[in-house]
Structure 1
Amino acid sequence: MISLGIIGTNWITEQFVRATDITKTFALTHVYSRTEAKAESFIEDLEKENIKISTDLDAFFKEDFDTVYIASPNALHFSQAQKALENGKNVIVEKPSTSTIQEFTILEKLAHEKGLYLFEAARHIHEPIFKKIEEVVEKHRDDLSGATFSYMKYSSRYDAYQAGKNPNVFTTKFSGGALYDLGVYTVYDAVVLFGQPEKVDYDAEFLDSGVDGSGALTLKYSNFDVNIIIGKTKNSYMSSEVYFGRDTLLLDNGGDINHLDWADDNKNITDIPTTKSENPMDSEAREFARIMTENDHASYDKLLQYARTVNRILEQARTSAGIVFDADEEK
């Protein structure tokens, strides 16, 4: 197995480590946390032993492990990934991997120069259910006439924000907001299924902090539009859809996809059989490890192109809406 260091001791890092245990792909050996107590509690919850703890990031990257998984606040991704690559570590970084396309370009160039891997962890595109969506879209591509993707989920941190606190996910300092949290899933949906759009426009609903609480994103392609609805300040139970003229592919969600149906012109709805892992990060852990072990550069280049396109669209979208991150001023 590939030795793994992680940055962050939150629920998503725990989920990723458990996925690597199930798939027997990566072996956790090192943990970085700002406090030793948090790291110890995290390791204890995972029932792991002999894990090296670091509270100093420079010291952490000098340790002997192969790959780092980064799940810190968005604005920290770039500097941490850059430092990892400079120290010879392969990088798996949660989406979005950077705050700006300039940052992404720097990381991509550095990874290439060092002969290392840089993965953006968009876990849902690796799941079997998404592969089934790709099959359906490809089969009916000649009739493709657009899509609507919806992902709106009331944030567990929004109450704190309304109470006058300053959660990272709702600040420009940490590159927060709906687009860069939930929207990235739906942009991945569009890019993987339809490619790069010709035009991007985002109409955002702003919070006082300067980030978007929700919004409507339009991706214009040559023959159709993709409409995206996202939000962190409200809940929506709207399904997502891909249109093929008279027929429609129904997704129960634009980000966390659990069920697929096919609806015909007569309103007959047919279930599309597929599978869903109990741990949604199983498939990406398996695929990243496979690419690294087999040196499958064709698959790697494809994922890198997706990530590059998605990060460019995210920046174009927030620029069109007038969303400015602190990271923009650091260019």
Structure 2
Amino acid sequence: MIKLGTIGTNWITERMIEAAHATGEYQLTAVYSRHEASGQEIAKGHEPATVYTDLEQFLSDPNVEVVYIASPNVLHYEQILQALQHDKNVIVEKPAVLTPYQYQSVMDELARHPQVRYFEAARNVHMPAFAAVRDYLSGLEMGVDGADFTFSQYSSRYDQVLAGHVSNVFNPQFGGGALTDLGIYPVYDAVSLFGVPERVAYYPTMISTGVDGKGTAILNYGDFDVTLNFSKLSNSTHNSEIYHGREIITFDSAGEVTEASIIRDNQRQILSQLYGKNPMIPEMTDFARVLKDPKQPENVSDYELWLEQMRNVNLVMSRLASSAGLEYPTKLEADE
């Protein structure tokens, strides 16, 4: 069993723990939280997992082999470095880091620990439906004509903003906003399917807290464009679509990718049936496969591909932010 420790006590951590246990490959052994009570809440039902309120003690625990990081975005960078320096494998929620400098710094540290593996948890590109779309596109003789990817989910935290309070996900000091929180999913879709675009532009809608609440991004690939729509201020049931002559390759939201189809002349062909289980199970299964047998050729190839995708996504995210004049903090201010 892979011994798992967690940083972060929100809903995504609980969902990841459920997925990790569902794979049968992980055991929760430690939880880090600044607050004992919230740490105990995460650890409940996973005894004898140890709860730590001191990060150094947590990272020094020999019963932690892989650290899952789901803290606020601005904290990821330092926590990744600390975990790597303790020779821990790392799974970090997207966005892993906020700037190209941080990305390169993490890669430099990773190179000093060659036995360690480092993953960004972009669950959408690990889904069976995404693999079905990718495989179908690889067999096309002609290139695609364009694509529209949508991922919009109303955030309950926006109610707090409307009431005059600022939560972390809408706080510029925490690296919040629609691009970092939701936009990275369709960026991952586009980069994983089509590579790095030639030109990018991001058109955000800014809200009172100083972050982008929603936005539209355009990725130009020379012969075609990919349009990304994402929002934390509204919901959408729009499917994501890739256009190929008379065909439409379609899947559900760009952040979930739980099913996929081809539509041709109003006739639908199923590419991948609905995945109704916890959508984090496929990624946690993939990560476990590499962690347990890191030198197996297929695992080496997949790991190198994920690192390349991570690098390219970070590059595109940086260019999108720059095009809109968005800047992200490099660390949390001491008084936060």
Shared fold (TM-score, shorter chain, > 0.5):
yes
- SS of equivalent residue, structure 1 residue 326: coil
Further displaced range: 175-184 or 106-115: 106-115
Shift of 1:136: 1.7
Quick check: 1:210–1:323 contact (8 Å CA) kept in 2? no
Which residue of 1 is the match for residue 314 of structure 2? 311
Which residue of 2 is the match for residue 123 of structure 1? 123
* Counterpart-to-counterpart distance in 2, 1:105 and 1:160: 35
Shift of 1:137: 1.5
Shift of 1:169: 0.6
Whichever residue aligns with residue 145 of structure 1, its letter is: D
TM-score, structure 1 length as denominator? Answer: 0.95
Whichever residue aligns with residue 94 of structure 1, its letter is: E
* Counterpart-to-counterpart distance in 2, 1:260 and 1:126: 14
Which residue of 1 is the match for residue 156 of structure 2? 156
Which residue of 1 is the match for residue 55 of structure 2? 57
Shift of 1:269: 2.9
* Counterpart-to-counterpart distance in 1, 2:304 and 2:270: 34
Quick check: 1:143–1:245 contact (8 Å CA) kept in 2? no
Which stretches of structure 1, 4 residues or longer, exceed 4 Å deviation after superposition?
none
Whichever residue aligns with residue 149 of structure 1, its letter is: F
Quick check: 2:154–2:232 contact (8 Å CA) kept in 1? yes
Is 1:31 aligned to residue 31 of structure 2? yes
Quick check: 1:75–1:327 contact (8 Å CA) kept in 2? yes
Whichever residue aligns with residue 57 of structure 1, its letter is: L
* Counterpart-to-counterpart distance in 2, 1:215 and 1:86: 37
Residue 191 to residue 269, structure 1, CA distance change in 2 (3 Å): same
Contiguous gaps of at least 5 residues in structure 1: none
Which residue of 2 is the match for residue 140 of structure 1? 140
- SS of equivalent residue, structure 2 residue 238: coil
**Pairwise mapping of residues 74-153 of structure 1 onto structure 2 (< 5 A)?**
74-115=73-114, 116-140=116-140, 142-153=142-153
Shift of 1:275: 4.8
Shift of 1:329: 11
- SS of equivalent residue, structure 1 residue 142: coil
Quick check: 2:4–2:26 contact (8 Å CA) kept in 1? yes
- Map Cα deviations across residues 181-225 of structure 1 (whole Å, 9 max, x no partner): 111110000011111111111011111222111111011112211
- SS of equivalent residue, structure 1 residue 107: helix
Which residue of 2 is the match for residue 19 of structure 1? 19
* Counterpart-to-counterpart distance in 2, 1:162 and 1:81: 33
Shift of 1:271: 3.3
Quick check: 2:75–2:331 contact (8 Å CA) kept in 1? no
Is 1:7 aligned to residue 7 of structure 2? yes
Shift of 1:146: 1.2
* Counterpart-to-counterpart distance in 1, 2:260 and 2:287: 26
Residue 328 to residue 79, structure 1, CA distance change in 2 (3 Å): closer
- SS of equivalent residue, structure 2 residue 28: strand
Quick check: 1:7–1:68 contact (8 Å CA) kept in 2? yes
**Equivalent of 1:302, from 278, 302, 305?**
305
Further displaced range: 113-122 or 271-280: 271-280
Is 1:68 aligned to residue 67 of structure 2? yes
Shift of 1:260: 2.1
Whichever residue aligns with residue 57 of structure 2, its letter is: A
Quick check: 2:215–2:229 contact (8 Å CA) kept in 1? yes
Shift of 1:141: 5.4
**In percent, how many aligned pairs have the same letter?**
39
**Pairwise mapping of residues 128-277 of structure 1 onto structure 2 (< 5 A)?**
128-140=128-140, 142-264=142-264, 266-277=265-276
- SS of equivalent residue, structure 1 residue 272: strand
Contiguous gaps of at least 5 residues in structure 2: none
- SS of equivalent residue, structure 1 residue 169: helix
* Counterpart-to-counterpart distance in 1, 2:276 and 2:146: 28
